[in-house]
Homo-oligomer: A and B are copies of this chain.
Amino acid sequence: MLHTFVALVQDKPGVLTRVASLFRRLNINIVSLTVGESERADVSRMTIVCEAPDHAAHRIRASLYKLEITVDVDEVGRADAVIRELCLVKIAAGPKTRSQIFELANVFRARVVDLAPESVMLEMTGAASKIEGLIQVLTESGYTILEVSRTGRMAMRRGHHTSRVLKALGTPDPDHHDEKLFHEKPHADEILPNEFAEGEG
């Protein structure tokens, strides 16, 4: 069974090693993992999808939580979260076959991000099944897929969910206006990653 964990971890060297070794030790295979910036400059957000028996979920969550670098962990199910993935697909296509690919892209709401004399690159976001749908249609239509790159699933709870994740970060909960409970709400300049100013990308 697939489990999706969202972990907020300190942005320190070696964090990835710690998390990866944990799963290795538990003998659980990671299906996909993404690490990126979160709403706080010093905290990274990981979405980890792993294949594990149902009863193991608690143990994984507890083990993740026990790592000293972990700020919080949440397990999200398919029902209550938006789960999206980004995919880049490069297809061999010349001027004659290009327009058919554009039509398919339109149906799947994929965007053309690069066009070369002999290839087209599409970008698509969506659930894993939608991405696999596009790849299958392209393959079955006889196109040669040159490269596929997928980010792996990223999850976020639907609605104004004041999970423990948010509480740990001090996000104000609109139902409880006692701001003192959430005294650590970050300032704007704390939220914005510094690298924006450095013009790196």
Contacts and interface: CB of A to CB of B under 8 A. Distances in A.
Given A33-B34, A111-B125, 10 more contacts: A16-B20, A16-B23, A16-B33, A34-B35, A45-B148, A83-B201, A86-B125, A116-B159, A133-B196, A146-B160
Contact of A140 (B135, B188, B195): B188
A145 interface: yes
A152 to B, nearest CB: 4
A63 interface: no
Interface in A173-201: 174, 188, 191-193, 195-196, 199-201
Contact of A201 (B87, B123, B129): B129
A82 interface: yes
A105 interface: no
B156 A90 contact: yes
A59 B171 CA distance: 42
Nearest to A148: B39
